[in-house]
Structure formats: C-alpha cells, structure tokens
C-alpha cells in the first residue's frame, strides 16, 4: 500500500515564477492537508481539503497561494509570483476519515527554493 506521494521532491524557482506542488493521498484517503515548514521551525497548518472542496484555508496566506483537490487526480498547492520568503518544505498529509479520529499520514515533502 503506497504511502502519500508528493512531487517534485525538490523545486527551484526564480522570484516571480509559479510553483505547483502535487500530492497524491494514500489509497482510500479522501482528506488532504497541507503544512509548511520554514527553516528551524515546526510545521504550520495551511489548508484542509476533501474531494472538490476546501474545508479550511485559514492557514493560507491571503494572496498568491491556492489549493485544490479535484475529483480526479492529485491535490495541487499553487504559489503564484513566488518570493524568497516562500522557500520552505511543504508537506502534504492524508487521512481516511476526519482527523479527530483518524491519523494523518505525511508525504516526503517538496522542498521549494526561490532564487
């Protein structure tokens, strides 16, 4: 049973470009979460999605960031017009049911570097 998949593992972008990060949840999991880990810090919640719905995006920056989890295909975290401060590791997690009862399983992360 494959775990949570994320790609790319490493992404380098210049300031002003767009970054697209992909996450495929574990088989049978319909809940997806994105977290960001800034250097020397713990992970911070960004957004919680179910298929075709954004449930909670309270941790997302108000501008340039968006997320989706379409009916078919992986969840996408999109960062437009990246800036140096966006450099971080972005982790996706998934759970089978709601996370107050089910464990969140994490992917290996995408390390974004903005030059």
Partner 1 sequence: GNSVTQMEGPVTLSEEAFLTINCTYTATGYPSLFWYVQYPGEGLQLLLKATKADDKGSNKGFEATYRKETTSFHLEKGSVQVSDSAVYFCALIPFNDYKLSFGAGTTVTVRA
State the residues that interact with partner 1 by CB under 8 A.
4, 6, 31, 33, 35, 40-45, 48, 56, 59, 91, 93, 98-100, 103-109
Nearer to partner 1, 3 or 17 (CB): 3
φ and ψ of 11, to 5 deg: -140, 130
CB of 22 to partner 1, least distance (A): 14
φ and ψ of 97, to 5 deg? -120, -160
45 is written with which tokens?
Answer: 């919640």
CB of 38 to partner 1, least distance (A): 10
Compare residues 4 and 112 and give the one whose CB is closer to partner 1: 4
The distance in angstroms from the start CA to the end CA of the chain is 37
What minimum distance in Å lies between the beta carbon of 48 and partner 1? 6
Q: Which is nearer to partner 1, 82 or 93 (CB)?
A: 93
What long-range pairs does 42-47 form, CB within 8 A, spacing at least 24? 43/91, 46/77, 47/77
């Amino acid at each position: 049973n494959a775990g949570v998949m994320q790609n790319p593992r490493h992404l380098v972008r210049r300031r002003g470009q767009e970054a697209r990060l992909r996450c495929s949840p574990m088989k049978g999991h319909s809940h997806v979460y994105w977290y960001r880990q800034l250097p020397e810090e713990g992970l911070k919640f960004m957004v919680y999605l179910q298929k075709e719905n954004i449930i909670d995006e309270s941790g997302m920056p108000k501008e340039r960031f968006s997320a989706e989890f379409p009916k078919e295909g992986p969840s996408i975290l999109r960062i437009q017009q990246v800036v140096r401060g966006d450099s971080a590791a972005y982790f996706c997690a998934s759970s089978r049911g709601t996370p107050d009862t089910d464990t969140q399983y994490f992917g290996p992360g995408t390390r974004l570097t903005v030059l």
